[in-house]
């Protein structure tokens, strides 16, 4: 298999996804004329895929083509804010109707708690925005429709700062009570009607300062949160969360996960460590850059350092899975003074020289699929890969949550991450000289049914002088979620050994051609 055809197809798909994102978020304004040459330079492609992408978006109704002006962004009949509210009211009322049939007592309790917290806040309290966004997205989640959830993220992202209205927090909370009562009764019609009235009865604010905000853009920082805004040197805002106190412990997620994937570890380790996790660029609520050049292994490492810097952490232990495992290892190689120890879990896909070309080709195809089909459709296949079915078999409910989260990822961010980070990263086997000089304590962790990572894990163990190897039995790729207790114990034991100073480099005498030492 060659990469020529998939690569060509993916260029048109990716460019179409990039322009679509710019139109939806308003970066390309209604009526704006599009220049093929400028877009080609921006996306680092020729003009051919740009032209084909524009024709595709014209058929979707996002662009229009005029003989004299060329392609321009279609202007809605009403203003962009008003259009957003109309579409949001239609979709969210549908979501409330679906949620009324499916929500459980835990979901109702969560909504009541959020609304009570909002009711207690003053009108000028910036913390209201995040609570309100969580309230609305909890309703979306209980609709159990990944497509609806994805569409709502786009709608909120299209209004930077979230949908803003002029009513008081107390009035919003009162209307939330009415929606809650309908959900509790299982009354789909009332839940839908109350939700529609809640949104359309608001007075949208377009350009006023100091207005009330329905919630933050999932791709923008929440200015009311306790966490400081973390912005990279190329202007990308990263969403981070932390819990606990003690030595800093940074978790870096895999391609199919996000910051939420580390919840079992955040709960466990926050009793003794200052735990930090973040969403990589391309994963809302972090920003999703539209420039393909903004995604690379080097950039992933720089982003991790930016998170540490933003939280004023000079040195941390790091735990990374898969894509995050590669980042953890590169942090050790590039910034050893910042890393106390590293857990490199499930890292190795495409690393073996004999598998590198096939992995790159598959990555390009996967990127094209995310761009053309969207995350929801791709997740149906990706979540049941040969190293994911173990999770599905052991814990169907946990796996379903993982698959739903993947389905809700940014299609554009996933496509660009797969192409720029996964497909283009250097092989670990090309770094053996550097790996052999590592002095930072390293734990290599792998599932014994994670075929693409087993051999690379052995190579890392044999190459890195300070590496230990933990193999989880009957376990696939999503080890931290599939076997959280086993994973946590292995990491905890490693960190404890590092703290005691008992994690030493390998004794050179153990490297011998002799089996017994007698010859």
Burial call 210-241: b when 16+ CB within 10 Å, e when fewer? eebbbbbbbbbbbeebeeeebebeeebbbbbb
From first to last of its 519 residues, the chain has per-residue pLDDT tens of 333 333 334 578 888 888 887 787 677 888 899 999 889 888 888 889 899 999 988 887 789 888 777 899 887 655 556 666 778 888 888 999 999 999 999 999 999 999 999 888 887 776 777 788 888 889 988 998 888 877 787 776 655 445 656 578 788 889 999 999 999 999 999 999 888 888 877 655 433 333 333 443 333 333 333 467 799 999 999 999 999 999 999 999 999 999 999 999 999 999 999 999 999 999 999 999 888 889 999 999 999 999 999 999 999 999 999 999 999 999 999 999 999 999 999 999 989 999 888 898 899 889 888 888 888 899 999 999 999 999 999 999 999 999 999 999 998 899 999 999 999 999 999 999 999 999 999 999 999 999 999 999 999 999 999 999 999 999 999 999 999 999 999 999 999 999 999 999 999 999 888 888 887
Q: How far apart are CA 376 and CA 407, in angstroms?
A: 4
Rounded to an integer, what distance in angstroms lies between the CA atom of residue 410 and that of residue 295? 14
Residue with tokens 């940074």: 250
Do 3 and 364 touch, CB atoms closer than 8 A? Answer: yes
The position carrying tokens 């192409």 is: 419
Three-state SS string across 195-206, please? HHHHHHCCCECC
Q: Which domains does the chain have, with CATH numbers?
A: 4-73 (1.10.10.10), 80-213 (1.20.120.530), 230-500 (3.40.50.1820)
Alpha-carbon distance of 182 to 287, in angstroms, equals 35
Q: Which two tokens stand for residue 197?
A: 């009235």
pLDDT on residue 210: 34
Give the pLDDT of residue 25. 66
pLDDT at 129: 75
Are the CB atoms for 475 and 447 separated by under 8 Å? yes
- pLDDT for the residue numbered 368: 85
Residues 6+ apart with CB under 8 A from 414: 255, 282, 367, 370, 375, 378
348 torsion bin: left (phi>0), alpha (psi -120 to 50), beta (else) = left
Name the residue among 462, 24, 64 with its Cα closest to residue 218.
24
Tokens 């996964």 label which residue? 422
pLDDT at 2: 36
Residues in the chain: 519
250-265 tens-digit pLDDT: 999 999 999 999 999 9
Q: Considering only CA atoms, which of 47, 74, 69, 75 is closest in space to residue 58?
A: 74
């Amino acid at each position: 298999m060659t990469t020529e055809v998939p690569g060509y197809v993916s260029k048109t798909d990716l460019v179409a996804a990039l322009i679509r994102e710019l139109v939806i978020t308003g970066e390309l304004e209604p009526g704006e004329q599009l220049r093929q040459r400028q877009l080609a330079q921006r996306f680092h492609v020729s003009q051919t895929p740009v032209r084909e992408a524009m024709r595709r978006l014209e058929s979707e109704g996002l662009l229009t083509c005029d003989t004299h002006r060329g392609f321009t962004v279609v202007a809605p009949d009403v203003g962009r804010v008003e259009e957003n509210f109309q579409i949001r009211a239609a979709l969210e009322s549908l979501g409330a109707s679906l949620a009324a049939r499916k929500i459980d007592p835990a979901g109702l309790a969560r909504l009541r708690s959020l609304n009570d917290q909002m009711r207690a806040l003053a009108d000028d309290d910036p913390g209201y925005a995040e609570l309100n966004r969580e309230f609305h997205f909890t309703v979306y989640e209980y609709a159990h429709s990944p497509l609806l959830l994805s569409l709502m993220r786009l709608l909120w992202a299209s209004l930077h700062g979230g949908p803003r209205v002029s009513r008081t927090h107390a009035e919003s909370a009162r209307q939330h009570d009415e929606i809650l009562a309908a959900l509790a009764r299982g009354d789909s019609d009332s839940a839908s009607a109350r939700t529609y009235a809640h949104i359309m009865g608001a007075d949208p604010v377009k350009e006023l300062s100091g207005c009330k905000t329905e919630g933050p853009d999932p791709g923008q920082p929440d200015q009311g949160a306790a966490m400081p805004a973390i912005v990279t040197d190329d202007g990308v805002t990263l969403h981070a969360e932390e819990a606990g106190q003690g030595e800093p412990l940074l978790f870096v997620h895999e391609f199919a996960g996000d910051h939420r994937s580390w919840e079992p570890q955040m709960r466990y380790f926050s009793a003794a460590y200052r735990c930090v996790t973040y969403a990589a660029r391309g994963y809302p609520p972090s920003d999703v850059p539209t420039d393909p050049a903004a995604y690379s292994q080097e950039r992933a490492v720089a982003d991790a350092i930016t998170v540490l810097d933003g939280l004023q952490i000079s040195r941390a232990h790091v735990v990374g899975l898969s894509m995050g495992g590669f980042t953890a290892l590169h942090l050790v190689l590039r910034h050893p003074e910042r890393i106390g120890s590293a857990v490199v879990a499930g890292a190795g896909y495409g690393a073996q020289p004999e598998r590198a070309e096939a992995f790159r080709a598959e990555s390009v195809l996967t990127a094209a699929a995310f761009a053309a089909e969207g995350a929801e459709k791709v997740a149906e296949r990706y979540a049941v890969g040969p190293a994911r079915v173990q999770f599905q078999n052991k814990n169907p409910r946990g796996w379903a949550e993982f698959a739903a989260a993947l389905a809700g990822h940014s299609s554009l961010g996933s496509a660009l991450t797969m192409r720029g980070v996964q497909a283009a990263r250097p092989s670990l086997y090309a770094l053996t000289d550097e790996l052999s000089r590592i002095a930072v304590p390293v734990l290599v962790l792998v599932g014994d049914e994670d075929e693409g990572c087993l051999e690379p894990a052995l190579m890392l163990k044999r190459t890195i002088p300070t590496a230990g190897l933990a193999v989880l039995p009957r376990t696939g790729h999503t080890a931290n979620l599939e076997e959280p207790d086993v994973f946590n114990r292995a990491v905890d034991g490693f960190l404890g050994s590092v703290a005691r100073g008992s994690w030493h480099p390998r004794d050179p005498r153990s490297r011998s051609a002799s089996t017994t030492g007698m010859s």
